[in-house]
Amino acid sequence: MDRIDRSILRELQEDGRLTNLELAQHVGLSASACLRRVRQLEEDGVIQGYRAVIDPAAVGRGFEVLVSIEVRRDRETVEAFEDALRDIPDVIEAHRLFGSPGCLLRIAVADLAAYERLWIERLTSLTGVTEVNSQIIMKRIKEPRGLPVER
């Protein structure tokens, strides 16, 4: 990956709706050369997709919680737990961690009552869960904006 590829990545992370012509102008390439590079970055799996960034409150999910979960650490239990998480749409991020806690979740729901229902009905009943700790997000200070791509 060269300087131009990295420039393409920076531009697309900033605005994934740029037309190919606009992108080409921003990175100093012809439109056809730019399109070839973008397609190659997609084929290589460097660009994994394009998404719209949505205001959580606009879709009734303005209440976010970070949840740390301890799970028994045998292979079957961990795999069952991870499979079950994939089926809970309120869990918008999930990370298995080294050490303790074993798992960190980011959850987006409508309000405290919705989170309490999720906590009681789903989280505490997942296979292997031994502990659930919740931290309610007061204010998001820095939004996810993509990865830093060196020049």
DSSP-derived secondary structure letter, 13: H
**Encoding tokens for residue 91?**
């869990």
DSSP 103: E
Contact predicate 114/56, CB 8 Å: no
Q: Where are the beta strands (DSSP E) in 1-151?
A: 63-71, 91-96, 103-109, 129-136
Digit-by-digit pLDDT tens for the chain (151 residues) are: 999 999 999 999 999 999 999 999 999 999 999 999 999 999 999 999 999 989 999 999 999 999 999 999 999 999 999 999 999 999 999 999 999 999 999 999 999 999 999 999 999 999 999 999 999 999 989 988 888 998 8
> CB 20: neighbour CB atoms within 10 A?
13
Take residue 97 and report the two structure tokens written for it. Answer: 């961690």
Token digits of residue 44: 């290589």
